[in-house]
Structure 1
Amino acid sequence: MPHIALGNDLPGITGLMAHRPDTAGPLGDLANALLRAPSSLDPGERELIAAYVSRLNDTEFCASSHGAFAAAQLAGGQQLVRAVLADPATAPVSGRLRALLNVAAEVQGSARPVSDRTIAAARAEGADDTDLHDTVLIAAAFCMYNRYVSGLATELPKDDEYYRHSARRIVADGYRGGIVRGD
């Protein structure tokens, strides 16, 4: 049961955003800019970074949501997402994406500079300044989103179809209006 009365039965961040549309707009705009706007990283790769950080933060709603969003946009689908969330070191992803996942893990782990070694490894795999910037910002933002969702003890959806349905909407429309409903 959520720690606050939301006045709706929507799971995860969707319930929080419906409860506070004044903050939902900016939070949705940020997610859209980070995950859907033009970038050197594909939207599926960015969603995968968000899902991975969410898994590291033990935020099931966000890991499952963004995992579904990534799966809908990546050639390896849900199997690839499961592999990355289990162990990015052995997952069938490019060296560049694996190195960026390592960058994201360092950002998630502590509020200090990513190590020179991890940055050099990412650059050696072809990551450029934009890749590094976007990965660090996605990881930092998802630490915030995860704490918002987990800190208020939001509910999980009743079944996994919620995630698949939401993925179809995100792929088609992005994070419009700040609220991603399961309908």
Structure 2
Amino acid sequence: MSNAVAFPVRSSVTVELRDLEELAESTGLSCGLEWPQRPPLVALGAQSPATPHIELNSDEPGIRGLFSYSPETALPLKALSEVLLCRDSSLTRGERELIAAYVSALNQCRFCFFTHATFAAVRAPEGMTIVEQVCADLSTAPVSDKMRALLAIAGAVQQGGKTVSKAHIADARAAGATDNEIHDSVLIAAAFCMYNRYVDGLSTFAPDDPSVYVARAKQTGGYLAVMTDSP
């Protein structure tokens, strides 16, 4: 293959790798992104109108347009995403991105789902397939018992914080989840409910072409790094 992809790192520096098979072998990142060739098999509801509720003075889609509109709030929001999804953790970056994608799918937030599904897929051997399986039916998706329990907690948070039960926590602990992993799963889910409502509450536009999101996922190693990519 000749497709170029940038290996994600924790700074604004990217390393170009020309062979996707080499990338998958050397880093564990997946290039099985069949999803961009067809619509995702996830129910996301109707597309928002192309015109947002406020004038953003930017053609960037989704939260990227909102970040350009309000740099003062963009920096702390990006910093929160960086801490939740990119810092060193016993949960991989891909697992945390999967939680973000799952919650975004439950909220039917097109932009956030497309974005974080892609970030999860490039880090999973199964590519987009595993993301779609989780979103379609968590109970049968081929994930570890620990991830299934943490995703179930995230799904409960999406419904409402008080929906998280002692049984949810007991299941996660029985599957080997630590208190930090439970904490982070709850906070990722809560944060993405906020991001989803921010994006959709202002009626931002989400491109239907998934390749737009794939390109973004391959270019950045973190959320603070994209500050240099935005106006």
TM-score range, shorter chain: over 0.9
Of 127, 139, 157, the residue aligned with 1:77 is 127
Distance 1:115 1:180, change over 3 A: farther
Q: Does 1:48 align with 2:98?
A: yes
Give the whole-Å Cα distance in 1 for the aligned partners of 2:169 and 2:222.
30
Identity %: 51
Q: Structure 1 segments of 4 or more deviating over 6 A? A: none
The alpha-carbon distance between structure 1 residues 25 and 167, as it changes in their structure 2 partners (threshold 3 A), is same
> Is residue 35–residue 46 contact of structure 1 (8 Å, CA) maintained in 2?
yes
Tell me if structure 2 keeps the 8 A contact 1:68–1:78: yes
Could you list the per-position Cα deviations for residues 56-98 of structure 1 after superposition, in whole angstroms to 9, with x for gaps in the alignment? Answer: 1110110111000000111111111111111111111111000
Task: Give the aligned partner of residue 224 of structure 2.
Answer: 176
**Partner letter of residue 137 of structure 1?**
L
The alpha carbon displacement at 1:161 in A equals 1.4
Alignment of 1:9-88 (within 5 A): 9-88=59-138
The structure whose Rg is larger is 2
Aligned residue for 2:161, secondary structure, equals: coil
Q: Which runs of 5+ in 1 are unaligned?
A: none
Select 1:136's aligned residue among 186, 190, 202. Answer: 186
Distance in 1 (CA, whole Å) between partners of 2:150 and 2:94 is 14
**Shift in CA distance, 102/51, structure 1 to aligned 2, threshold 3 Å:** same
TM-score scaled by structure 2?
A: 0.75
Three-state SS of the structure 1 residue aligned to 2:206 is: coil
Q: Which residue of 1 aligns with 2:8?
A: none
2:140 alignment counterpart:
90
1:60 & 1:181 partners in 2: Cα distance?
A: 22
- Partner residue in 1 for 2:18: none
Which range moves more in the overlay, 80-89 or 29-38?
80-89
Conserved 8 A contact 1:99-1:125: yes
Cα distance in 1 for partners of 2:56, 2:132 equals 31
- 1:116-143 deviation per Cα after TM superposition (whole angstroms, max 9, x unaligned): 0111011111111011010000001001
Once residues 183 and 147 of structure 2 are traced to their aligned partners in structure 1, the CA distance between those partners, rounded to angstroms, is: 14
Aligned residues: 180
Instruction: Rate the CA distance shift 1:82–1:68 in 2: closer, same or farther, 3 A.
Output: same
Larger relative helix fraction: 1
Q: Which amino acid aligns with 1:16?
A: L
SS in 2 for 1:112: helix
Q: Which runs of 5+ in 2 are unaligned?
A: 1-50
In 2, the alpha carbon distance for the partners of 1:180 and 1:71 equals 24
